[in-house]
Structure 1
């Protein structure tokens, strides 16, 4: 027997012995569960979602929820701290330009073809108003030169998933019920009769537009393009806002949905910037808060799920599994109960009752009491969702959450305002 054969047989013998040991003590070679870290806000980073994902996927999912500004700051400077990032499309330009995220291959997204036109073209119906600013389709696709644009390609900057239109919530125990698209107005946020009882979301790329829409509605400032406010226009806007703040008009600035709920529940405010889950939670607690359908149009937002540039190997595979899970049906049905839409709603429809679908998506009156994600009744029988159907609401977007060319200057002015 030559030397090479002896080496081969020796290697096989060792492998056989190792296999026997493994058979007797399998725990020695126990497979380690893959872990993915998700950085985002309380909007989607909810415990029920985390538990369901782990049960369905067999991976460990760790959530790190923070306020929107803190989340964006951490993601832009510490890509190694997360595998997936969940927030809104106004964060995309910052993350892409900082090199914190890598592109997502749509060929690995199981239900990519089911994602509807809102994400890909900016419209759900042909005659819909797209809205000013960063409509999601404008920053979705990675172009040949590495920039982001709307020409279709196999690589995208984010996975389109949850989205909604935002406005403000008001307590109808104090403020008379308005008429959607007719009397409800962003201008209410700056109405002096609510002075001292108004709160705004503390996010420069979100709260800024709530206040810009309000100031324009009141005729205090006029913008040439509200999706790209100039520095001179910002000066005019913040001169008005800082004066009002010093006069005590604003009660506070909230950074998370739970905080916004506390503001309204405690009676600290009667009107404020709000996200849909906050309104749902308050209604579930018996506090009559209406989510306005402003006659000027909504502020639209689109959820983005982004892949960290540092995520590779098995963690990257698991991240794709988690992204695919989000479009698999259950998550879309879950978040519908807090007033959010999913990019491929037809897959979630069978997991919603006909009454839930009719209320949340079709804009019809609730045929029975409906529960929110906290299992409390958030919609009473006979109620109709303000703003109407999915298509109607997204046909009335005034502006999208946006990072403007004047972003750096707007940040400076925002913090001057908040600290004034």
Structure 2
């Protein structure tokens, strides 16, 4: 970022005006000079705790000379707010499964990809749907299907100059388990989504409270356990939803589920306190728990992962200097340091090579290449989260993204799934 850009976005001295009053009683009096200093542009960012982290806000403000207001919340909560009140935010950060809802609600505006400085560095995962030609596509809404704004103003996979979101943070998710209690499995061979419904862990299972995420964890578990078979797990019909939730209701009545969580810290607390031994989990929680000496394993299910792709969207109401500042913040995310920061929590960035120089060789080899850690590695809190000799659960970036079962998706039966989900939780 050059100095002129920073000066443009930061606070600048606009003007100094001196006004003289008329002479009173044959003497002149002068008003005190008034100095007008415009405040720094304020960009309001609505999203989840996954990316709305204080360390990131502080660094971005220092690098860009702008002011950021982060409003993190639960997934369903922030999606509802964004889709109904676009005037309440400037940028929205969540997952690609929110895009259809936001676009159809008119809550977000097109992003000019020519204003994304590192667009040409973004890897094939988002632009064509897979990292390598041999990788599984995965069911549901792969992000490339939602990225480009077509001439008829629908979303699709054919490349255009306008996009619905900035591709940035992404990962594959599964479930975490406490290996001090749950016997350690073999990645891609014995670890299975069916473990979430294993009767041995009744009363100690927790699920993420998000119908477009937790629902798929449970559908994968039901199918893996042989309790039902779905034609397309990325697009369940209403009758398949009825079947799924009838099965889940039996487990709920039997006390199988400890509860649900809506934030990464809440999921960490459940396992660290011993209330859950197996649960839906996001990557930072795994490494947080390991930093607390909990032997948490992030499963590599033989059925495949549930994948997600982060999206940064521009509110349909954002204009002018704030819009310019929002573009600078989007560009900042792909500039190197942020990608390295989130790598230490187990996440990936869409242009990883730019972040490589911000990581040590040992960090790059562990987080991206799946090699044993050459040294102890610290996470973002300063705790050691990886000990020398350990390998990343699931292996390399390519290995993990070659085994996708389903993407987080808003299905055609979304309204019905939402009703079933709420009934399931309130039951």
Tell me which interval the TM-score lies in, with the shorter structure as reference length. over 0.9
Quick check: 2:177–2:296 contact (8 Å CA) kept in 1?
yes
- CA deviation profile, 1:78-120 (whole Å, cap 9, x unmatched): 1011000000000000000000000100000000000000010
**TM-score when scaled to structure 1?**
0.94
Rounded Cα–Cα distance in structure 2 between residues aligned with 1:65 and 1:268: 25
**Shift in Å at residue 25 of structure 1?**
8.0
Quick check: 2:99–2:164 contact (8 Å CA) kept in 1?
yes
Rounded Cα–Cα distance in structure 1 between residues aligned with 2:36 and 2:82: 35
Which among 66, 91, 115 is matched to residue 84 of structure 1? 91
1:143 paired residue number: 150
**Shift in Å at residue 143 of structure 1?**
0.2
**TM-score when scaled to structure 2?**
0.93
Once the two structures are overlaid, the 10-residue window that deviates more, 310-319 or 378-387, is 378-387
Partner SS for 2:172: strand
1:379 paired residue number: 386
**Shift in Å at residue 292 of structure 1?**
0.4
Q: State whether structure 2 residue 244 is matched by structure 1 residue 237.
A: yes
- CA deviation profile, 1:197-239 (whole Å, cap 9, x unmatched): 0000010000000000000000001000001011111111100
Where structure 1 has 5 or more consecutive residues not aligned to the other structure, the ranges are: 1-17
Rounded Cα–Cα distance in structure 1 between residues aligned with 2:388 and 2:16: 64
**Shift in Å at residue 19 of structure 1?**
6.0
- CA deviation profile, 1:243-285 (whole Å, cap 9, x unmatched): 1101100001000001000110110000000000111111111
1:246 paired residue number: 253
1:416 paired residue number: 423
Listed as ranges, the matches of 1:316-395 within 5 Å are: 316-395=323-402
Where structure 2 has 5 or more consecutive residues not aligned to the other structure, the ranges are: 1-14, 20-30
1:407 paired residue number: 414
C-alpha spacing 1:26/1:196, structure 2 compared with 1 (3 Å): farther
- CA deviation profile, 1:308-355 (whole Å, cap 9, x unmatched): 000000000000000000000000000000000000000000000000
2:107 paired residue number: 100
**Shift in Å at residue 27 of structure 1?**
6.4
C-alpha spacing 1:35/1:235, structure 2 compared with 1 (3 Å): same
Partner SS for 2:35: helix
Q: State whether structure 2 residue 119 is matched by structure 1 residue 112.
A: yes
1:33 paired residue number: 40
1:185 paired residue number: 192
Rounded Cα–Cα distance in structure 1 between residues aligned with 2:275 and 2:120: 46
- CA deviation profile, 1:6-26 (whole Å, cap 9, x unmatched): xxxxxxxxxxxx86749x988
Q: State whether structure 2 residue 49 is matched by structure 1 residue 42.
A: yes
CA RMSD in angstroms comes to: 1.3
Partner SS for 2:203: coil
C-alpha spacing 1:263/1:144, structure 2 compared with 1 (3 Å): same
Partner SS for 1:373: coil
Quick check: 2:208–2:260 contact (8 Å CA) kept in 1?
yes
Rounded Cα–Cα distance in structure 2 between residues aligned with 1:148 and 1:340: 26
Quick check: 2:16–2:33 contact (8 Å CA) kept in 1?
no
Q: State whether structure 2 residue 132 is matched by structure 1 residue 125.
A: yes
Rounded Cα–Cα distance in structure 2 between residues aligned with 1:343 and 1:40: 19
- CA deviation profile, 1:184-204 (whole Å, cap 9, x unmatched): 000000010110000000100
Partner SS for 1:378: strand
Partner SS for 1:306: strand
Rounded Cα–Cα distance in structure 2 between residues aligned with 1:226 and 1:382: 37
Matched residue count: 402
Quick check: 2:16–2:36 contact (8 Å CA) kept in 1?
no
Rounded Cα–Cα distance in structure 1 between residues aligned with 2:183 and 2:417: 34
Q: State whether structure 2 residue 172 is matched by structure 1 residue 165.
A: yes
**Shift in Å at residue 29 of structure 1?**
2.0
Partner SS for 2:399: helix
**Shift in Å at residue 386 of structure 1?**
1.0
- CA deviation profile, 1:163-200 (whole Å, cap 9, x unmatched): 00000000011011111000000000001011000000
1:56 paired residue number: 63
Q: State whether structure 2 residue 202 is matched by structure 1 residue 195.
A: yes
Listed as ranges, the matches of 1:282-301 within 5 Å are: 282-301=289-308
